[in-house]
Copies of this chain bind each other. A is one copy, B any other.
Amino acid sequence: MKTSLASDAPTVTGKVRLTSEGSIAVVTLSQPGRLNAITVAMWEEITRTFTALSADPTLRCVVVRGADGNFAAGADITEFPIVRKSEADVYHFHQKVVAPALRAVGDCRHPTVALIEGVCVGGGLEIACQCDLRIAARSARVGAPIGLLGFPMAPDELRGLLAVAGRAVTLELLLEGRVLPAEEAVAKGLLTRVIADEAVEREAFQCAARIAAGSPEAARLNKQTVRRLTPEAVPYSEAELRAFYAAWTDTANHREGVRAFLEKRRPGFTG
């Protein structure tokens, strides 16, 4: 029952909405009042949605966005006491819930554009980094301050950030934990472009339209060739993954980090 949620938990209000405008599909992350924090149910819905989109040969582009002026605040940490209780839970959450969702976005056969407004941090940034382009509003903020939650970024999540941001920027984001204004993030290559807030939605859809105006076969093959030509690290073995999770899951700092977040206070780490 590790991924079940109490039926009255506020988190279950989250949704992944799918709409379309001609040959352009729009995936919207929505959890009102929580900056679209992504619940387990939403991660699973992301996996299903993108798997279905990839199977639809009539599409030309997919736009990913958040509802109500934010992209996404990351995984919904209010669920963590329920869904990330034990080491096995934590492993399951990252490897079997989050990683498949990110993979489904990254493997999408169609070009993908992240339309980034407001907050785009943690899991939100991980999703944005799986998209092919990132069009952001000037007031957007991006980062991955998960060191303050007392745990490291899981390998299958870090992989996408690293592919977009490179080693130096990835280390900066993860070690320092700053949330960057859009202008700083675009200068660091983390965003494709930054647009005035009032024009960003239009620009993202114009970008999608430019993509949709090209040959769909060419777009799909270009995505495949870019991936094919990008050297990849040796895949993690199961033993390596287990060792990674064993190294931090059951530590005082991990417990402190999540507890401090839920209690809305600064964590105090030791060691």
Give A residues with C-beta under 8 Å from B: 57-58, 111, 132-134, 145-153, 155, 158-159, 162-164, 166-172, 174-178, 187-189, 192, 207, 210-211, 213-219, 221-223, 225-226, 228-233, 236, 244, 247-248, 251, 253-254, 257, 266-267, 269, 271
Contacts and interface: CB of A to CB of B under 8 A. Distances in A.
Given A150-B218, A217-B152, A217-B271, A226 B170 contact: yes
Contacts of A213: 148, 177, 266, 269
How many copies make up the complex? 3
A133, A176, A254: most-surrounded residue (chain B CB, <10 A): A176
A54 B245 CA distance: 22
A195 to B, nearest CB: 13
Contact of A176 (B175, B211, B232, B254): B211
A175 B57 contact: no
A168 B147 contact: no
Contacts of A145: 214
Contact of A217 (B187, B210, B247): B247
The 8 A-B pairs of least Cβ separation, nearest first, read A147-B214, A152-B221, A231-B231, A150-B215, A215-B253, A174-B222, A152-B218, A147-B218
Contacts of A175: 111, 132-133, 211, 214, 219, 222-223
Given A162-B226, A222-B158, A148 B214 contact: yes
Given A150-B215, A218-B151, A221-B152, A226 B176 contact: no
Given A111-B171, A147-B222, A148-B214, 17 more contacts: A111-B175, A147-B215, A147-B218, A149-B218, A155-B225, A155-B228, A163-B167, A166-B189, A174-B219, A175-B214, A215-B253, A216-B269, A217-B247, A217-B254, A218-B257, A221-B247, A231-B233
Contacts of A189: 166, 168-169, 188-189
Contact of A230 (B58, B162, B211): B162
B172 A192 contact: yes
A215 B261 CA distance: 13
A88 to B, nearest CB: 19
A171 B223 contact: yes
A229 B162 contact: yes
A116 to B, nearest CB: 14
A263 to B, nearest CB: 16
A176 B207 contact: yes
B215 A176 contact: no
Contacts of A216: 253, 269, 271
